[in-house]
Amino acid sequence: MKQFVDGLVLDMLEIRRRRPLVFSMTNFVVMNETANALLAVGASPVMSDAIEEAVEMAGISSALVLNIGTLYPRSVDSMVEAGRAANRKGIPVVLDPVGAGATRLRTDSARRILSEVDVTILRANQGEAMAVAGLESRVRGVDSVDDIGEFTDIAIRIAEGIGCPVAVTGRTDVITDGSQTWLCDNGHPLLQAVTGTGCTVTALVGAFLAVNPDVTRAAAGALGLFGMCGELAAQGARGPGSFEIALRDFLWSVEEEQVRAGVKVRRP
Amino acid sequence: MKQFVDGLVLDMLEIRRRRPLVFSMTNFVVMNETANALLAVGASPVMSDAIEEAVEMAGISSALVLNIGTLYPRSVDSMVEAGRAANRKGIPVVLDPVGAGATRLRTDSARRILSEVDVTILRANQGEAMAVAGLESRVRGVDSVDDIGEFTDIAIRIAEGIGCPVAVTGRTDVITDGSQTWLCDNGHPLLQAVTGTGCTVTALVGAFLAVNPDVTRAAAGALGLFGMCGELAAQGARGPGSFEIALRDFLWSVEEEQVRAGVKVRRP
Amino acid sequence: MKQFVDGLVLDMLEIRRRRPLVFSMTNFVVMNETANALLAVGASPVMSDAIEEAVEMAGISSALVLNIGTLYPRSVDSMVEAGRAANRKGIPVVLDPVGAGATRLRTDSARRILSEVDVTILRANQGEAMAVAGLESRVRGVDSVDDIGEFTDIAIRIAEGIGCPVAVTGRTDVITDGSQTWLCDNGHPLLQAVTGTGCTVTALVGAFLAVNPDVTRAAAGALGLFGMCGELAAQGARGPGSFEIALRDFLWSVEEEQVRAGVKVRRP
């Protein structure tokens, strides 16, 4: 996987050099942490969900991140408006269907965005991805699909079902567009003890897509980098508080050699 | 109080084991910190204030936390809707009337929720609790009611007046349903230097009620645990920033023996 | 500048003694951090953007901070309502036109507030200040106006153009009401790697104005103190995460002697 890591290092340095503007329509719980993670990797965050400026914001941005974590029916209109503007401009759109499957509003909102916007990649956990793809009734106890071979097949079916690449995070992350698939083994249990780490990695996928048009490769790089920084941060952490601070520090300070030594992305 | 602490330790371990879903309709200032505190004690937070999913969210949750810290008239409708769904389902409802007494909108909103929802417990500071109960005109300079005997009497009157148990925090916290009363001496001045610590302990009361139906005992346990973790966090803190991080770490890592040694809950 | 620093120290101690209530109508990204910074310097934050309580909140506050960072058309109505109430009461109003120049909604909203409210001081970065003043077409690449002499002239023109004092932050901050001008050289590059530091210093300007009616002097003091705490925080930081925590700790713990040794405010 030397070629993969070479590309990831280039993306990382390119983000630090270009400082791409990542426009995030995201939830109120994680706005601050998401903006700070984008700043830490070198990107420039801008947050808004006012429909009145959605098109203009998309016009000056290099990527758009849509996250339905705290949802109002009106927000979905803004997201569709911004998504279409992003499509017209040709910049990547990442969708995080937070809580899809938990309530109809969320499942329906994610599907509406997928049907009205050309989404570049869906970043979700297993349950959310399956709910969006309408697989929830067929597979029970989705969070326990620990057989990565089995879940890779499911992820491919999801990508085919919704018509766009997916980055499904779990114990092992699966990133696939149906034909090209990557697996990522980075991560640490403390990431589950901090709110919004899923939303944060979604935003980082946006930053990576802003500098690399190879969708699954860019997304796998973002997931590998974030998970690896989580592993580094866990080493000195006394709990989720100090862990979160160290994670942000590592996103900022991580060096090429650490990436080469620590990223665990592979083919299935 | 050995029996009390035995129960508190059981609640704490039960939260870590069961990971109850605590549905929070809370304010924008503290959403992230509240979610992280819930995760730190082992609970699962979900945040929303969309009326469209209020009933469904209540349906999958084990406790509901209503917090009026940043208020829109529309939010109160959502809160009432979720509160009624929680009542139908029989899960506990905690109300934090942030800023009651400061503006009419807040006092009225808190009272409307109390009249339309069967609130399990009100968690407030002295001034807010008195404003909700309509005692503000009779007692002046409420934050200076430092005579705990006097304030215990007031808290009992508040509980009787609003018709539900109260957990009133101050130098000494008073938790009472009118007949059973607990006092808690845990806490540290640095808790006043961090925004949202009141909202956070309200959320923790929700997590404790999710595993223990003895309302005043569960609430006193949450207050004791939180205040004690504040004391531990203050020991190495250089200010409110490092204090807040350490507080979260201790909520996560605190051990049974520390709880037994540090919790100061007593009868009046 | 001994006289200036004497005044700054007095302001700092006065905030810690009086704990002025600073009413912030601010954006969702930075609400928590802003509230915590206000608490760290000793002020009392209250956050709301409900028009229903805007007048009452202004009535109990000692300063009003308006920040358009995450904007809804309705928020501007609330801000105008609160601003007028602040004007009637005679308390200072600080405006932070976040993102002015980036979208029409933001530029127009900032101008509307300036025209309908008697703003005490505008706190902005170079580009935002120029956009608000309508200078954007005449000066290109505004963030590169590194010649401080040149930018001081521009800041004076902005203050005259919009009819109120300005605090324009950049490598060197310029605070001017057109006749009295201060330059501040404090700060650290890590402040750019944390979201909302501009919004935070705006809130601190509000706290300083609450205790000192000399507008440019109070604002220059807030900028100097914040930038100096940033320098202190950077010394032990491993990245933007630990930096942000240390910054908050220093705002809380900073001593008179550190202020006297570290603040770099001067005349042009």
Looking at the structure of chain A, the number of domains it has is 1
pLDDT tens digit sequence for A169-189: 999 999 999 999 999 999 999
Q: Is the pLDDT of residue A251 over 80?
A: yes
Percent of chain A with pLDDT strictly greater than 90: 85
Confidence of residue C61 (pLDDT cuts 50, 70, 90): very high
Kindly determine whether residue B238 and residue C244, on different chains, have CB atoms separated by under 8 Å.
Answer: no
Residue from A88, A43, A39, A73 nearest A209 by CA: A43
pLDDT value for C147: 82
Please state the ipTM of this predicted complex: 0.94
Confidence of residue B100 (pLDDT cuts 50, 70, 90): very high
Asked if the C-beta of A13 comes within 8 angstroms of chain B's C-beta atoms, the answer is no
pLDDT value for A140: 41
- What does the H/E/C string look like for C12-59? HHHHHHHCCEEEEECCCCCHHHHHHHHHHHCCEEEECCCHHHHHHHHH
What CATH number does the domain containing C230 carry?
3.40.1190.20
Q: Is the pLDDT of residue A142 over 50?
A: no
pLDDT tens digit sequence for C119-130: 999 999 999 999
Q: What residues of B are in contact with residue C50 (Cβ under 8 Å)?
A: 70-73, 105
**Residue B9, token pair as written in the block:** 């330790």
Q: What is the mean pLDDT of residues B177-191?
A: 97
Residue at token pair 């009295």: C180
pLDDT tens digit sequence for C146-167: 688 888 999 999 999 999 999 9
Q: What is the mean pLDDT of residues A225-232?
A: 98
Q: What is the mean pLDDT of residues B151-161?
A: 95
Q: What is the mean pLDDT of residues B209-226?
A: 98
pLDDT value for A203: 97
Percent of chain B with pLDDT strictly greater than 90: 85
Confidence of residue A51 (pLDDT cuts 50, 70, 90): confident
CA–CA separation, B12 and B2 (whole Å): 15
User: Which positions 243-262 of C are in contact with A (Cβ < 8 Å)?
Assistant: 244-245
CA–CA separation, A8 and A264 (whole Å): 12
Q: For all residues of chain B together, what is the average pLDDT?
A: 93
pLDDT value for A152: 95
List the single residue in C27, C99, C240 with the smallest CB-CB distance to A36. Answer: C240
pLDDT value for C159: 97
B265 versus C51: the higher-pLDDT residue is: B265
Residue at token pair 């509240």: B34
List the single residue in B104, B106, B195 with the smallest CB-CB distance to C32. Answer: B195
Residue of B nearest to C78 (CA): B72
B142 versus A193: the higher-pLDDT residue is: A193
Kindly determine whether residue A57 and residue C103, on different chains, have CB atoms separated by under 8 Å.
Answer: yes
pLDDT value for A69: 84
List the single residue in C69, C106, C240 with the smallest CB-CB distance to A248. Answer: C240
Q: Containing domain of residue A207, as a range?
A: 2-266
Q: What residues of C are in contact with residue B72 (Cβ under 8 Å)?
A: 50
